[in-house]
Each structure stands twice: as C-alpha cells, then as structure tokens.
Chain A
Amino acid sequence: MPKPHGGKLVNRLVKKDVSDIKELPKIEINTNLAEDITNIAKGVFSPLEGFLCNNDLENIVKEKRLMDDTPWTIPILLDFNNEEIKEGETILLSNKENGVLALVDIDEIYTYDKKTLAQEIYRTKDTNHPGVANINNMKQNLLGGKITLLDCKTREFDEYNLSPKETRFLFKEKGWKEIVAFQTRNPPHIGHEYVQKTALTFVDGVFINPIIGKKKTGDFRDEVILASYETLMKHYYLKERAVMSILRTSMKYAGPREAIHHAIMRKNFGCTHFIVGRDHAGVGNYYGPYDAHDIFSEFPDLGIIPVFFRSFSRCTKCNSVVNDKICPHDQKYHINFSGKKIREILNNGEIPSEDMMRKEVAETILKFDKPFIE
C-alpha cells in the first residue's frame, strides 16, 4: 500500500464544544468549501492541513507542486469578503447545512489574479468553462491557514463514506496489496465494467469511488448511482475483490491537472493504481483527449500508478468489448457506449440492450420514480 501523499495521513478532526468559541469572528461558507474542509480534516487532501497560503498557491500555479516540492495541481482556496478579520486570528467557519463547522488559524490574508489563476489551472480564460466561471465568482480575498474540523454531522449515504484511514484499514484486513481506484459520476454501463475488470485482473482489488454531490439537471441522482453499483457488484463481481465508497467533492473540470488531483486523493485512500480514461475531468473541447494521460509523465514521484484507457466500445465482429489496442476491425463494427443514449432509453422507461448495460442494473435504475435530477 502506498504511503499517504507527503508521507503522513492528516487528521484535523477534534470533537469540541463550540459554546466557548462561538464569539469568534465567523465566515459563512458554501457547500463546496465545507466539503474541502472535511476532506482536509480526514486526510483525503493529505498533506494539506488547511487552506493554501500565497507561496504554495504560486508554486502550484507555476510548478504544479507545493513549496516543499510535493506534487499538487489543484489549489484549495478559501475566499472571503469580511474585511474585519486579520492575520493571526482564529475564526469560525459555518455552513447552512452544518452550522459551525471548523476553526481556521489565519496565517495569511492575500489577494490573487483571477485571470492568471484561470489560465494556469484551466488553460483558458473563457468564462464558459465552469471552473473559470467559478473563479470569477470567487471573492477577492483569500486566507491561508490550518483548519480544525469540529464536528461531522451525519449525512445521507454516510454508510458508504469511508475515510482514508478506514479504507487503508479495510484493504489491510482484506489482505490487498495492490488496489486500483475507479472514479465515476454515473451508473455503470458495460464499458465501465470492462475497464474496471481489465484493471482488476492485474491487482488484488478494485475500489469504486463515485463522486457524490452537486450535479446538474439530467444527471443521475446519487442514490441511483449507489444502488446501481450495489446491484452490479452483487451480481457480477467477486465479493472479496470489490468495494465501494463515496467521495464528497466538487468537480473542477480542470482536465489534466484534475486527473493528478484525483490520483492523489486515491493514493491517500490507499490505492496503488488509478484508472484514467479519455478526457478525464474534461469539459467541452478545452483539453486534448489524452492530455490527462500525458501530464503523469511530469510526476515520477506521484506514488500511484496511472492505468490509462483510451477509447473502448463493443465490436460486433469480435462480439466483445474492445479497445483501440486490441481490435483490428473497422469503426463501422464498433458501437460506442453513449451515456447520453443510455439515459434517453432509461428516461423512456425502457431497458437498454444488454450490450450496453446489465439488465439488473437497468432494472435497479428504473425502480426509482425519478432517477434523474430535474
């Protein structure tokens, strides 16, 4: 099992009575920031112990590394407007859902250039890019400093929400030495199953890690994704070879940089391998289809092995799922796994062909009155 990123699994969770600290200055934060805090506190973002200070941010932007040379590609930032708070103070962070959530010891307050940040992280200043739009909506001040998570309220799907410490324990208990992580935001179709099982063939276990959280209209609901994976695992996976746990984090759509970030999080969960598909974490045409593969060559010290998959489809001539390295047949024999098409079929209350999706998985999805976000 790999060591946590940076060598140490961060734990910034302290159960504390908030009554004696409720007079501290307070900043209201959104759900995405609340998730960042939980991920810092539970070690998902190890070695980060808090929000970035300016020197780390600048180094990430220029070098894709923290100041101590540890690979890190996505800035974890806390933006704010409150002009009364000062460096050296401890403040409270609260959130509508969670109430008082965390403390932050402010090491630095600084400003930043939105255009430079957008260009370097997303390779574009185009405000149609959701990540760039997000930067443009950020407040102008940033604060850096260590956080302390005060309490974790129980939330929906928490039974599936394992921390890196728990997954590392689980993998040890199962005797797994090599674990491949698969990230998803959708119920599984046959192509996903093919990718997972192909990778699993060479390691001890597969760690299925759906991203749960804010989605857009037309996306599958979180409970549908989880139920569909439970069904697939029950019917088509060896019980001793596959586990699933959710990850609460927002997608940044930063393409190659985000692929590295996703790999780092899975390393912290204890995985040795990470599946990277075509246009991983991409959106629109901002990145080349394999930019998220190429970037890994910049990080010999990442500590997790990327498993690259290019395109895969069903070949009617081979009569199996294939990828571009193994199938000699013309494109006309290839049926692509179109998530959009599968959604359309399911939306009409119909079961997709078994070439596309397992019948049991489709039936599980159709048991939900409203499988999609409206």
Chain B
Amino acid sequence: MTEEKDGKKYTTISIPTPLADKIKKRIEGTGFTSLSSYVTYVLREVISGMEEDSEEAFSKEDEEKVKDRLRALGYLD
C-alpha cells in the first residue's frame, strides 16, 4: 500500500511484531524518531552494498595514452 504524507510517498511493509518491539526499544534515546526511520536507515545501508557495478574498461589504445599521461605526471613508472 502506498500513501502520501507531507508530500512524501511511503509504502507499508510488515515485519513481525516482536521484532518491531525490539527495534522500538533499541532506538529509544537515539536520533531515530520512529521505527520507520530506523528501518529505512538500515535498509538503505544494506542495499547500498548491493549496487551493481558496470565499469567500462579502456581500449588497449586508450589505455596506453592514459598510461603515458600518468607517467608524464610521475604517477606511474
């Protein structure tokens, strides 16, 4: 279910009540103002470690040119 609050869009996720209670206790006195803000924080942290990487390599010719530049700067031998 998606809902809008203060112009922001939210969706509802179900987690076991005992877990929710444990989290509520854990976040007491921390900067987290709600169970949702804590769960959002944790999920963002977890998901960022799963980002896909699709780095393109240099062509052989370009690689040589880059190496020459870096050697000229004294950064590669």
The residues of A with any CB-CB pair to B shorter than 8 Å are 3-4, 6-9, 11, 62-63, 69, 159-160, 162, 165-166, 168-170, 173-174, 239, 243, 297, 299-303
Contact = CB atoms under 8 A, between A and B. Distances in A.
Interface in B19-48: 31, 41-42, 44-45, 47-48
Given A63-B8, A168-B55, A173 B47 contact: no
B1 interface: no
B61 interface: no
A301 B54 contact: no
Contact of B8 (A62, A239, A243, A297): A62
B75 A301 contact: no
B51 A3 contact: yes
A300 B56 CA distance: 27
Contacts, number: 61
Contact of B70 (A4, A62, A173): A173
A9 B70 contact: no
Contact of B75 (A3, A8, A69, A243): A243
Nearest to B65: A166
A9 B55 contact: yes
B7 to A, nearest CB: 7
A6 to B, nearest CB: 7
Residues of B in contact with A, size category: 20 to 34
Given A159-B69, A170-B76, A239-B74, A3 B45 contact: no
Shortest Cβ-Cβ A-B pairs, 4 listed: A301-B48, A300-B45, A301-B44, A7-B51
B13 interface: no
Contacts of A69: 44
Given A160-B73, A300-B45, A3 B66 contact: no
A69 B70 CA distance: 36
Contacts of A6: 51
A9 B56 CA distance: 8
A125 to B, nearest CB: 20
Contacts of A11: 56
A8 B51 CA distance: 9
Nearest to B50: A7
Given A7-B54, A173-B76, A297-B31, A166 B44 contact: no
Contacts of B69: 159, 162, 166
B4 interface: no
Q: Which of A165, A169, A299, A302 has the most CB of B within 10 A?
A: A169
A8 B48 contact: no
A115 to B, nearest CB: 17
